[in-house]
Every structure is written in structure tokens, then in C-alpha cells.
Amino acid sequence: MSDNLLEIRSLSKALPAGPRQSAAMVLRDISLDIARGEFVAIVGPSGSGKSTLLYCMAGLEPPTEGTVTLLGQDLSGLGRKSAARLRRDHVGFIFQSYNLIPSLSAWENVALPAPLAHRSAGQSQIDAALAAVGLTEQAQQKPSTLSGGQQQRAAIARVLAMRPDVVFADEPTGALDAEAGAQVLDLLRTAATDDSSVVMVTHDLQAAARADRVLVLRDGAIHRELHHPSADEVFEAVTTPATRAV
């Protein structure tokens, strides 16, 4: 088996034509690999297709053309149930809006996914996940009594407690102040280990510069790809006009 956790080949995504508009291409002919252990950031202007690409990578949106191979499995060849099982057992998602269950405590939110995946998560594993994100003291609090940064850290603990092979994060620091955002970023940085990868969509170019690789999307295509860039290099790549030679 290849070392790639994810392989995308010639992926395109069209939105269906409406009564007043022709079909629009949201993603155009994207091919890329994500290796095990990589921390990859996706940046680009609003509407450039970042979230759509992330959802296609995770098997939440089907591509119009092309293939997505996750952990050696071609997602288009899997039935809905098998795809859902693959996601449940190997994939974690972190959203800008946290998606915690309001009626449950932080501890109960973190404990929730394991039984759904028919896995046992010992009390100590849940405690350890909350300790890793610095929420031991807040374990019994409901989400409404936590700050935004604490809620996002609880959402990350919920994902990391499941030890996924890949974490997809869509604007995980988008609703946070600089300090809380930096804590969340540190957690994601350490979540990319030898075995696990992290793919993060972000508007924050400083955050993107923490990644091993940065993909710059423009009009649904990969405009630039940077390895271990500085924040200035990411800024330059995002702002360089598509028509100018680089």
C-alpha cells in the first residue's frame, strides 16, 4: 500500500444548473496526495471552493468527475453504509461552529462517539483527551457555559479521543480570538503525527504557515502549492494574480 492517506485524481465538481444559471464549476481538475503525518492547509479567497474540496476529500460530497481514494478505498466504489463506516472509524471533523451537543457536558460530548463506533473508550481515555486540550477543570460544564475557545477545544478532544487517521478542519479558528486560535492550532499541529494527518481550511495566513504544505485555491483550481512557507510567502501566493508569471 502507498504511504498516501488520501489520493485525489482529476477531481471536478459542478453545481447543477438552475432555472436562471448554467452549471458552475466549483472545483476543476484537482489532483493531489496527502501523506501520512502531513499537516496540510488550504487557503484561498471566499468562494474559491475550499470547503467543497474538504467535503469531497472526506467523502461528504461526491465529485462530479474524478476519484477520491481514502486509506486505499475508492470512495465512489463504496456504498453509503461502507463510506459512513470508513468515516466513522478513521476520520474526524472539526467545524468552525464546534457542533457540540448543548444538553451534554464537555465530558459527555467527548465520550459520545466511541459507543456509536462500537468502541469502548475508558473513562481514563476521555479524561486524558480533555486533559490534553486543557479542559480537566471544565469537564462537567455544558457547552453554553464554556468560552468559544473552550468549546472548540472540547470539539477537538472529541475528535482526538477517537484517534482518527485523518482530521479535517474547516476554519477551526475562525470564531476564536488570537490566543484561543493559537491554542487550537497547537493542538492540530500535534495531532499530525507519524500515523495521522490533518487537513485544515483557513483564512488565517499565519495559521496556514504552521502547516507542512499549503495549497492555494483560486477559482476551484490549485493555484500554488508551498512547502513549509513563511506567512509572508503564503500572503504573496494568495495575492499574486493568476495571470502574472510567478
Ligand X SMILES: Nc1ncnc2c1ncn2[C@@H]1O[C@H](COP(=O)(O)OP(=O)(O)OP(=O)(O)O)[C@@H](O)[C@H]1O
Closest distance of CB 102 from Mg ion, Å: 24
- Which residues of this protein are in contact with ligand X, per CB under 6 A? 15, 26, 44, 46-52
What order do you get walking across the sheet with 197-201 strand by strand? Answer: 91-95, 166-170, 197-201, 39-43, 213-218, 221-227
What b-and-e string marks burial along 1-37, b requiring 16 or more CB atoms within 10 Å of the CB? eeebbbbbbebbbbeeeeeeeeeeebbbebebebebe
**Residue 175 in contact with residue 187, Cβ under 8 Å?**
no
Closest distance of CB 225 from ligand X, Å: 17
What lies within 8 Å, CB to CB, of 50 at 6+ separation is 42, 43, 44, 170, 201, 217
Among ligand X, Mg ion, none, what does residue 49 contact (CB within 5–8 Å per kind)?
Answer: ligand X
Closest distance of CB 99 from ligand X, Å: 16
CA atoms within 13 A on the CB side of 14: 10
Closest distance of CB 43 from Mg ion, Å: 11
Closer to ligand X by Cβ: residue 44 or 59: 44
Q: What is the DSSP letter of 103?
A: T
Among ligand X, Mg ion, none, what does residue 72 contact (CB within 5–8 Å per kind)?
Answer: none
| Helices 148-160, 123-132: crossing angle, 10 deg rounding | 130
CA atoms within 13 A on the CB side of 178: 2
Closer to ligand X by Cβ: residue 15 or 101: 15
Closer to ligand X by Cβ: residue 54 or 191: 54
Q: Tell me, residue by residue from 22 to 61, as one string, x for binding to Mg ion by CB under 5 A and - for no binding.
A: -----------------------------x----------
Closer to ligand X by Cβ: residue 44 or 229: 44
Closer to ligand X by Cβ: residue 51 or 105: 51
Closest distance of CB 61 from ligand X, Å: 8
Closer to Mg ion by Cβ: residue 51 or 109: 51
Closest distance of CB 90 from Mg ion, Å: 23
60-61-67 Cα angle (round to 5): 105
Among Mg ion, ligand X, none, what does residue 109 contact (CB within 5–8 Å per kind)?
Answer: none
Binding site for Mg ion (CB under 5 A): 51
